[in-house]
Chains A and B, each alone.
Chain A
Amino acid sequence: MSFLAPLFLVALAGLAVPVVIHLIQRERRQVVVFPSLMFVRRVPYQSVQRRRIRHWALLLARLGVLALIVVAFARPFVRGGSSAAGPAGAREVVILLDQSYSMAFGDCWARAQAAARDAIDALGPADRGSLVLFAERAAVSLRSTSDRDRLRAAVAAAAPAAGATRFSPALQVAGSILADSPLPRREVVLVSDFQRSGWRGAGTARLPAGAALTPVLVSSDPNARNAAIVAASLARSTFAGQERITITAGVVNRSARALAEVAATLEIDGRAVQTARIALDAGGSGSVAFDPVTVGRQPMRATVRLPADALEPDNAFHLVLRPPAPVEAVVLEREGAPETSSLYLVRALSISDDPRIDVTRRTGGTLSDEDLRRASVVIVNDAPVSAGLAPRLRRFVESGGGLFMVLGPRASWPPEQPLLPFAPGPPVDRSRGDAARLGAIEYGHPVFELFRAPRSGDFSAARFFGYRGLSTPAAAPAAAGTASDVLARFDSGAPALVARAAGRGRVLMWASTLDLTWSDLPLKPIFLPFLHRAVRYLSAYVTPPPWSTVGQVVDPSRVRAESGEPRLAVTPSGRSVPLDDEGSDVLELEEPGFYEIRGQPTDQRPDVVAVNVDARESDLTAMDGRELAASATGSAGASGSAGAVADVTPDAQERAQRTWWYLLWAGLALLGVESMLAARASRTT
């Protein structure tokens, strides 16, 4: 028997009030002055008994009324024990054991295993148990077995993983196990440290109706030393022609006591190179900046490490310091073009920072296969493309390159090569009258997305005195198999910029020039960002993240298997994971550290992915397990410790809590009896 509102029981002290009043209070009756009590005193009257209780039944009735009402308001309910009040029958018990890395804190894991064993020991002969280990994801370790020894062995074999806590997948797995179970009673025992960060998404996970959830909280000493590196930032700079990276790490003190000196060590390729110290208040945070590190030509593995404490996995933060990866762009000019024909274009591209663009100028005759192999983007700047060059460019695009066709008065494309979305048409002269301006622009496209916000660039300021009309080639788009998008149009409605995907590459057609021949666009502020965005789009440039988080997946297909060797990934613990060459699979990052992805050409070092644990998990702030239980079961009744299984089905809960209703009615009935007793007593006295 427990109470939902036990504070109301304090009112039971009010039971003493009538008794105390009776004992200490004089009878406050109307005083009648009488000449002499000589005769009154002689009457054998029980005046000496006036301090004694004469109407025991009345007093008890009143005390009973008070007690019943108070207890009713305290909302008593019967907690269903595992064998007492619950419905009879075998149980299907799912033990959810949190194996997130925060369970390695102090002695949490040992206590969690003990709690799981307790739940296993509580299984009856007809009961069946399942063990689900969960962190970021949930995995069924043992499903619905009555073999308790196997369950115990599975618990003993489990160990904390590197993932962060998430309750939602675990509850869904438990729900599916319970839903499949034919046993009448379904229970979930959730053993966890109940970090609040694990709650995300758990609000929607529901157990089947009638299932009970018992949260078992395991926690350790909050005063234990626990510092964590939660983030790092990389600042790139160039010094003496070499790129340098300054690493700044964010350190948080998760413990309840201040840490006077925390030594943070920076390791490069496994070698400690720098140490910085920081003092942290209780619950405070700070940042540690290391001296700049010069980046070589190959990716470097950097690790910021804190001294060992109660929670180990969050003491190391791994990074990959990559050399700069410029986009190789080839500007293709016509033979005999003046030096200034690509002046604006080349200057604009060469000052790009993110990504850096290395520009190579070629003519149609000097463009070699090696140029194409190295290049990511080819910009045909108002140059005629010969019938021999077009197929090479087409192959270049279909293998993943980007082609930017800038259509000046001299540009041409052999119509038999179906690569361009439109065939260049005759020039349109707008030098007389109003110059053409850009009208409709597809701001949703990556090229123009930067200018989407108001006052982020005015394309209508540029004037176009001439452009090439574009006409749809008869069979080209259909042959290419993909549609084309008109990203911008002149005010006459003619297409100005057209995009098209071809194979793995992309094609952009600009209907005017990128110098001052036909427009003043190079003089406008939008010219640089527009050109940079266009090249970035064409090269499909993606900034590789310096680190990933456990639980994320990476697409290893970005590693080109040009060497023909079988590709494989080596985990930080040294395990080899073969990668499917089809490119359809993903590599799941399960451990903190550095993953190597091998299979590159022999002259390159293996690609490296730095993986860190989820920093949110290092925050050990716990939530109320009953809150989770209430959300998962849809009721607020489940609570308790290990082994105590609450019956929280709505019907059972209603049954268990209905007592207060009866008590209230009993109190009212007793009140009626009290009224009758009081009336009778007042008549007789």
Chain B
Amino acid sequence: MATSSPSTAVPGARFVDPAVLARIGNLELVARTVVDGFINGLHRAPYFGASVDFAEHRGYVAGDDIRRVDWRLYARTDRYYVKEYEADSNANFTVLLDVSKSMDYGSGGATKLEYGRILAACLTYLVHRQRDRVGLVAFDRDIVEHVPPSARHMEVVLHVLDRVRAERPGALRAPLHKLAEHFGRRGVLVLISDLYDEPDNVLEALAPLRFRGNDLIVFHLLDRAELEFGFTDASSFEDVESGEQLPVVPDTLREQYVSLVRAHIDALTRRCAEARVDYALLDTSAPLDHALFKYLTTRDRLMRVR
């Protein structure tokens, strides 16, 4: 799935090249720049989440907390009504960032890890503004960093994001299964990974996360080179994780490779949809607003469903 042009999807959004963002060291500054610009560009879009917005009144029933009775309405109507609010804020928001070695790849500007780091920072910042609790898990074949969700962990998350390095080969199943036991409270989980595994294995790894009622959003990060395989010279290709080398003549291989990647993405899209997991493919050369937009639409949809 190629990324569509963000300018048409989100008019007025502020587009910043991820390669430029990657050169900015301060993740908070990056996140603020991106998120604020993004939000300002929305122009009171209906998707703005409201954590304290009034939703409806309902009649008092026994057992309701009397502190939630709307006394002003009682004064006018002489009936007890309880005030209900739209957003139930303070949801847990956790970013699951894949820091396996394959993420440390970038054919042009930013590597997938840098892109994922900025994306995680932006989302964290965005969510933090909504008073949600933010957490972070960095994993490769095991859990590398774990920041439990908390309203005060914004700075910690950004710091950890800044610190993680892609050093080891990765796996999805073991760390995600281990994580699933920790998410006792339902929340929003965002998985940022390049998902180099069979679709069945990916879904098997994701399944436990869904069991606790978590909302799971999968951002599938791929480099442009991984999507299009734009190499020309016959070379030895080295697997960055295993070190294995294969002689490859790109011209003869490209067509089959692209079709295989496409089939992989299609399979993931289909299987995620079946598993009610939101899946989004992100090209690391595309600006971040697409990812943010994707998140907000998802969040909106989730709230509507509720």
Contacts and interface: CB of A to CB of B under 8 A. Distances in A.
Contacts of A35: 102-103, 105, 112, 194, 196, 223, 226, 239-241
B239 A37 contact: yes
B160 interface: no
Interface stretch (B15-23, B177-185, B243-251): B243-251
Given A31-B245, A32-B231, A34-B105, A43 B256 contact: yes
Interface in A18-71: 27, 29-45, 47, 50
Interface stretch (B131-139, B148-156, B257-265, B273-281): B257-265
A37 B226 contact: no
A35 B193 CA distance: 12
Contacts of B194: 35-36
A83 interface: no
A685 interface: yes
Nearest to B225: A34
Contacts of A29: 234-236, 247
B64 interface: no
B24 interface: no
B13 to A, nearest CB: 29
B253 interface: yes
Contacts of A47: 246-247
Interface residues of B, number: 32
Interface string A90-110: 000000000000000000000
Given A43-B253, A43-B257, A50-B247, A36 B264 contact: no
B237 interface: yes
Given A41-B246, A45-B248, A34 B240 contact: yes
Given A39-B264, A40-B253, A34 B238 contact: yes
A507 to B, nearest CB: 111
Size class of the A contact interface (CB-based, 8 Å): 20 to 34
Given A39-B260, A40-B253, A33 B248 contact: no
A32 B105 contact: no
B65 interface: no
B247 A27 contact: yes
A35 B238 CA distance: 8
Contacts of A34: 105, 226, 237-240
B233 interface: yes
B235 A685 contact: no
B220 to A, nearest CB: 13
B248 A40 contact: yes
Contacts, number: 79
Given A32-B231, A34-B240, A35-B223, A42 B260 contact: yes
A40 B241 contact: no
B253 A32 contact: no
B257 A685 contact: no
Contact of B241 (A30, A32, A36, A43): A36
A32 B239 CA distance: 9
Contacts of A44: 256
Contacts of A39: 257, 260-261, 264
Contacts of B260: 39, 42-43
A45 B105 CA distance: 24
B236 A31 contact: yes
Nearest to B223: A35
Contacts of B102: 35-36
Contacts of B196: 35-36, 38
A26 to B, nearest CB: 9
B257 A31 contact: no
A41 B234 CA distance: 15
Contacts of B233: 30
Given A43-B256, A685-B234, A33 B240 contact: yes
Given A33-B105, A35-B194, A40-B257, A685 B236 contact: no
A488 B33 CA distance: 133
Nearest to A38: B196
B237 A685 contact: no
Nearest to B258: A39
Interface in B81-138: 102-103, 105, 112
A34 B243 CA distance: 10
A36 B226 CA distance: 9
Contact of A33 (B103, B234, B238, B253): B238
B212 to A, nearest CB: 30
A685 B249 contact: yes
Contacts of B248: 32, 40, 45
Contact of B235 (A30, A36, A45, A50): A30
Contact of B237 (A27, A40, A42, A50): A40
A32 B238 contact: yes
Contacts of B103: 35
Interface of B: 102-103, 105, 112, 194, 196, 223, 226, 231, 233-242, 244-249, 252-253, 256-257, 260-261, 264
5 contacts: A27-B236, A27-B247, A30-B235, A32-B235, A45-B253
Interface of A: 27, 29-45, 47, 50, 685
Given A27-B236, A34-B239, 20 more contacts: A27-B247, A29-B236, A29-B247, A30-B235, A30-B236, A31-B235, A31-B237, A32-B237, A33-B238, A34-B237, A34-B238, A35-B194, A35-B223, A35-B226, A37-B244, A39-B261, A40-B246, A43-B257, A45-B246, A685-B234
3 tightest Cβ-Cβ pairs between the two chains A and B? A35-B102, A36-B196, A35-B105
